Structure 1
Amino acid sequence: MPLFEYTGFDARGKKVNGVIEASGKKLGLQKLREQGIYATDLKEEKTVRGEKAKRSLTLFKSSVSTMELAAATRQMATLLGAGLPLDETLQTVSSQLENPTLGRTLSRVREEVVRGESLHQSLAGEGRVFPELYVNMIEVGENSGTLEQVLQRLADFLEEQVRMKSRLRAALAYPILMALIGSGVLVFLVTFVVPKVTRMLEDLGQSLPWPTLLLIRGSDLLVDYAWLILALLAAAVFAFLRYRRTERGRWQLHRLALSIPVVGRLNLLVATSRFARTLGTLLQSGLPLLAALDITRNLLQNQLLREALEDTAAAVREGEGLSAPLKRAAVFPPMLTQMTAVGERSGDMETMLFRVADAYDHEVELAITGALSLLEPLMILLMGTVVGFIVMAILLPIFQASQGIG
């Protein structure tokens, strides 16, 4: 049955928009009037509802940010807590969203809910917007009658993810900008300014000091063989990407990502924090441990950590607890295994996992702040050394020429 996108006003004169399913335009207008909506625009949507699987397997990335999804989730939790039915909640939230993609998606979800489908089944067909973790938690909330609380936890979880990413971006913004500007200035000096100055120095007809000769040779190399350097860089990047797609290459690179001094530790702490927070959120929402481990494993990018969780899930399936197989894996930091053991004994696993996530988030933030406090002066020192060398290489022959004239 065709879908129609509509824009109009409700009985209170408030502007609304969404999607409705009808066999024709006239029937669609009639259905809207029955809902108390007076449409000013109604046009058929090209997307076919029956192809939900195709929508979820699309190659295009979602145009909905984590922050927008968190805000919509928080609104739904608030409206449900205020006593609104689910269909009115979805309609209200979808009509208030600034992101049209998320608004249309929630409108489609509402139409399915009105037809009798459960919320998690409706969300599962919108895989571009709602990840597996989101859908599974909603299913648990519906089955346990705690949908409002689950939505609150989801909003908290998504907002914490946004806060962590924002802190990392803010911390890295200045060094990255400084590196880009500094590299651009150096490339400009070496490729445009230095060749003109060195030609003038060569015209003096005097022997040049070794810094000047080194600068001239380096500048000539960059100018004359720029195409070859770019081609080699492109070939190296292509070979790296090809190697990364192989099973062996992916495994080796993921192992390297965890073994690099300082950086490897940070990668492990970030992955462990995400694992602990996600697992704690799923368990707090009532999801069984095995199902929660399967979902959490799929969220991790590192192959070594995913294999460790697969072995852990297999051990849990055979009747073991969580802490013992995690300790045998010898991949995750000791605090995780210690706190999970405490959680198993106390029966409060979720709280222990959240404490692990908070502790590692704090450690990562401190480590990045400390590293950046050292990186910034090192970058300034490096750029100053390079620029100082260029200036010295240019001024030395000029001083020699002035002394010869004197």
Structure 2
Amino acid sequence: MLNFSYTGKKEGQDISGIIEALTKPQAIAKLRAQKITVSKINEAKTNGSSGADPEIKTFLGMQLHSDKLSDLDVMMFSKKLETMMKADLPIMDSILLARRQAKKPGMIKLTNSIIEDLNQGRSFSSALEKFPKYFDDSYVNMVKAGESSGTLALFLNKIVNLVEKKLKIIKDIKGALTYPIILLTVALLVTTVMLIKVVPVFEEIYGGLGVELPAATQKVIAMSNFLKNPAQGGLLFISTALIITTLVFLNKRIYAVKKFFHAFSLKIPAFGPLVIKSIYAKLAMVLSNLLNAGVPIIEALEISSRVTNNILVREAIARIQQEILTGKNLSELFGNEKIFPIEFAEFMKVGERTGSVDEMFNSLATYYEAEVDNAVGALKQFIEPVMIVLIGALIAGLLLTLYQPIFNMGSVVK
């Protein structure tokens, strides 16, 4: 596909732009279909480029790389558009330049789709709506607000800040969980190796001595024999996989089970406060930006509820949506929901008195971003000593259990 810059007239008015087509005659035919009388058309060149589109790499007719885009890809795409539009580059030229720079198949296809929609007279926001996986309702609504107010670059800046903050929260949570997961994995591997390799040596020694083994030692030896047996080890693996699969299935299919797990996750020491505070931060960020963009409060609440999958939070927001139609204050409604802390209600009261509810949500977002940072630090401080003690106790317990018969033999000799 090539890009052609054109000038002409439509309904008596001068018009110019860029259109995508395989050949110049096809480009002219497309413009005529849009009722544009072409006076001049040439193949477009961008920054000295040949005008050729970036190609998706294939091997034996198969695409080499996935179409999937990460949150970081979407953020960088938004940041590029914001930078170009701040320099007064039209949206079409900005997308064309983004496509020239695209390397991932998903980004090439995304920009091609947007360019095609823009060429057909659709808005940028409607072009983004085709990709809900990457551009959620809050993103699209903020773009619509930018288009309607003629300040798309400003709203793209808000979007970039919003996405950056969301990514930071996600990164903080992943960073806090990585360390304990690694330690737990190491603990399980060490325990398994000891049961399979070390315990049989002790079993052989005690068998030769003919001593009666304590109950704890017999249980450890039984666990070792269980794991060494291929059939029993396979049974353990299948049973574990079956239990996990069943729990995942029930969590997806049964609402009550899903709600139970969501409530339980918020009560886990150190981890629960981190999760709920990250939800508060993202919720406040989205509400602040949507209200600032002029989105009605009912619609803003509906969109913001999708920043989390937690059922308790979603149910609370749904109740607030219904109750706000009765004329109650937002501060009162947030205050009535136990899932939200008192800070929400207090900040809302100030916002309602001063007529700056969107600014209060922004303040809440800033407040809970700091709280997330504190919660990450608290989780790390909590997890590190707990995991070290747990691993030490596990290994020490195994060793004491294995050496207990020797200690008993010493007491018998005395």
TM-score range, shorter chain: 0.7 to 0.9
Distance 1:337 1:214 in 2: 56
Distance 2:67 2:299 in 1: 25
Name 1:67's counterpart in structure 2: 72
Give secondary structure in 2 for the equivalent of 1:130: coil
Task: Give me the CA root mean square deviation.
Answer: 3.4
Q: Specify which of 278, 289, 309 is matched with residue 281 of structure 1.
A: 289
Distance 1:66 1:136 in 2: 18
- Contact 2:214 2:404 (C-alpha < 8 Å) held by counterparts: yes
Gaps of 5+ in 2: 6-17, 31-40, 57-65
Asked whether 1:251 is paired with 2:259, we answer: yes
Give secondary structure in 1 for the equivalent of 2:212: coil
Q: Specify which of 235, 240, 247 is matched with residue 240 of structure 1.
A: 247
- Contact 2:67 2:105 (C-alpha < 8 Å) held by counterparts: no
Distance 1:315 1:403 in 2: 74
- Contact 2:81 2:95 (C-alpha < 8 Å) held by counterparts: yes
Give secondary structure in 2 for the equivalent of 1:203: helix
Give secondary structure in 1 for the equivalent of 2:237: helix
Give secondary structure in 1 for the equivalent of 2:189: helix
Gaps of 5+ in 1: 11-18, 45-60
Distance 2:243 2:211 in 1: 41
Give secondary structure in 2 for the equivalent of 1:344: helix
Q: CA deviation at 1:118?
A: 0.8
Q: Specify which of 358, 371, 376 is matched with residue 350 of structure 1.
A: 358
Number of equivalent positions:
377
Asked whether 1:144 is paired with 2:152, we answer: no
Distance 1:43 1:255 in 2: 48
- Contact 2:54 2:108 (C-alpha < 8 Å) held by counterparts: no
Name 2:84's counterpart in structure 1: 79
Paired letter, 1:309: I
- CA deviations 1:362-404 (Å, max 9, x no partner) are 2232223223213212222222222223333444556777999
Greater displacement, 103-112 / 31-40: 31-40
- CA deviations 1:61-85 (Å, max 9, x no partner) are 9721112211211111111111111
Q: Specify which of 104, 113, 124 is matched with residue 109 of structure 2.
A: 104
Q: CA deviation at 1:264?
A: 3.8
Q: CA deviation at 1:335?
A: 0.3
Instruction: From the superposition, tell whether residues 264 and 105 of structure 1 become closer, same or farther in structure 2 (CA, over 3 Å).
Output: same
Q: CA deviation at 1:195?
A: 1.9
Q: How does 1:101-140 map to 2 (within 5 A)?
A: 101-140=106-145
Q: CA deviation at 1:260?
A: 4.6
Asked whether 1:311 is paired with 2:319, we answer: yes
- Contact 1:282 1:292 (C-alpha < 8 Å) held by counterparts: yes
Name 1:47's counterpart in structure 2: none
Instruction: From the superposition, tell whether residues 40 and 111 of structure 1 become closer, same or farther in structure 2 (CA, over 3 Å).
Output: closer
- Contact 2:19 2:27 (C-alpha < 8 Å) held by counterparts: yes
Report % sequence identity: 26
Distance 1:325 1:278 in 2: 18
Name 1:340's counterpart in structure 2: 348
Q: Specify which of 165, 169, 194 is matched with residue 170 of structure 2.
A: 165
Name 2:339's counterpart in structure 1: 331
Asked whether 1:34 is paired with 2:43, we answer: yes
Q: Specify which of 368, 371, 392 is matched with residue 400 of structure 2.
A: 392
Greater displacement, 155-164 / 206-215: 206-215
Asked whether 1:228 is paired with 2:218, we answer: no
Instruction: From the superposition, tell whether residues 62 and 226 of structure 1 become closer, same or farther in structure 2 (CA, over 3 Å).
Output: same
